[in-house]
Amino acid sequence: MPSQTLPPYLFAYAETLRAEPAVAALDALAEAQGARLWVTGGTLRDALLTRWPRDLDLAVAGDVDALGKALARKVRAKFVPLDPATGAARVAIRSAQGIDWIDLVALRGPSIEDDLRARDFTINAVAVALDGLLGRSSAAYIDPTGGRDDLHARVIRMTSEKALADDPLRILRAYRFCAQLGFEIEPETGAALARLAARAAEPAPERIHHELSSLLRAPAPADTLARMMADGVLGRILPELAATLRVTQDAHHHLPVWEHSVETVRQLGGVLAEGPEGLAEALAADAAACRDDPAAREVLVWAALCHDVGKPPCRGEVDGKVHFRGHDDAGADMFLAAAKRLRLPGWKARRAGRLIHHHLRPLHLAEPFRAGTLTVRAIDRLHRALGDDLGMLFLLALADSRASLGPARPPDAEATLVALYAHVAAVREERIRPLDRAPRLLTGRDLMDRLGVPKGPTVGELLEALREAQLAGEVTSREGAEAWVRGRLG
């Protein structure tokens, strides 16, 4: 039912719509076709939160297909059917000024009020007529479920439990909104989410991945992830994480594996927020780059969340002391299997899997670094294993260390990791990258044609050993390289 006049800041958003030629064209086409349009869903929710959206969600009383295709022709945009069964389509605008695309969805019932009551959460079930925002008619809220009050109270409330059951992806969406918006889940809704937890894995993997991706990119997802696990939802999607519940650890840790994993995600947020005073210049630059790159930040959160999934199958005890030998390798394999199941893009799975696989290496290098015996060869191997993600590995190691407060943890653990990365970064810039940019002294073809090395694994082994000899300063010229190889061959 319509209510009070809209606040001034919403009309400021309407100015953005009025400046977009595609919106004016759509308004004229809707009037000509006798269609009614309402701004609703995430667009209106974000506008009311003054998070100016670049998408436009519209509920349509009319022919979505005819309206969308006519608009695409009019403004030379792309028409994309999203879900013909529900009458949803997207018009992707090539030269938008204030918005990037317009989503058109047919009403879910005979009226806009019926449509809103069938939506997932009250904060998404508020509407305003588009022609009202554009100034052609009176502008008022349509809010049959009290969504505006819940927005002000910062509460996630279902419109009904049936709405969640009708599309189990909405179970995940509740937690995603909780993390993204910093809202609380209302108790009755929370109880319904727990009751429906067994259905959380039913949607298509791609849809599940999209919700998880958005959640992990939120500013502070740790508390929401803990709530998802407590409600029985996260374990349905990632049973690898559910297996870490109540798994106790060694003396380096004060928390069981699952609680430590969530704490690592929480500590990661603090690490990324630090500047040079806490991380030193080199690592602070990597932290800023990850903080400003949502894709890189998501990869890091995936790695922090799943870095210890290999511990349950690797747990053992010797003389009463707990160990997890090989959990880094096992964890990387388990994560990659889960990533394949959830249809994570290959680049994302490989980067997070690589961080999980190598997450112990900074800790292993800390001891020789303290002793002054860390070699350039060891740093080169780490550089070649991680490439441009080397800084991300140390950010993960810092978060992991801060989440570990057991009695055996070295008191200077974080300071050592920061100093180690400063040393590693300096060696990489001064010695390793110049070698990477320089032409090879010898190629594999040189070894076979000039030095008689038979084709096979020996060629690669010699090239690897020659690189290490160059880094150690043992070889500096092509002639020296040939002599070095002949000496190696006997």
**pLDDT by residue (tens digit) across 64-123?**
999 999 999 998 888 888 887 777 999 988 765 667 889 999 998 899 999 999 999 999
**Torsion of Cα atoms, 363 then 364 then 367 then 368, to 10°:** -130
The pLDDT of residue 1 is 38
Do residues 19 and 98 make contact, with C-beta atoms less than 8 angstroms apart? yes
Count CA atoms within 13 Å of residue 3 on its CB side: 15
In this prediction the pTM is 0.90
Joined together, the tokens standing for residue 305 give 């969340």
**pLDDT by residue (tens digit) across 339-380?**
999 999 999 999 999 999 999 999 999 999 999 999 999 999
Helix (H) or strand (E) holding 206: helix 205-216
**pLDDT by residue (tens digit) across 304-345?**
999 999 999 999 989 889 999 999 999 999 999 999 999 999
| CB neighbourhood size of 158 (10 A) | 23
Domains of the chain are: 2-151 (3.30.460.10), 161-236 (1.10.110.30), 249-436 (1.10.3210), 444-489 (no CATH)
Joined together, the tokens standing for residue 373 give 């015996």
Burial tier of 400 (Cβ tally within 10 Å: 0-12, 13-18, 19+):
buried
> Distance between CA atoms of 453 and 447, rounded to whole angstroms?
6
> Distance between CA atoms of 334 and 352, rounded to whole angstroms?
12
Q: What percent of the chain has pLDDT over 70?
A: 98
DSSP secondary structure letter of residue 83: E
Asked whether the predicted pLDDT for residue 138 surpasses 80, the reply is no
Query: Could you tell me which residues come within 8 angstroms of residue 452 by beta carbon, excluding any fewer than 6 positions away?
Result: none
> Distance between CA atoms of 89 and 91, rounded to whole angstroms?
7
**pLDDT by residue (tens digit) across 14-56?**
888 888 888 999 999 999 999 999 999 999 999 888 887 888 9
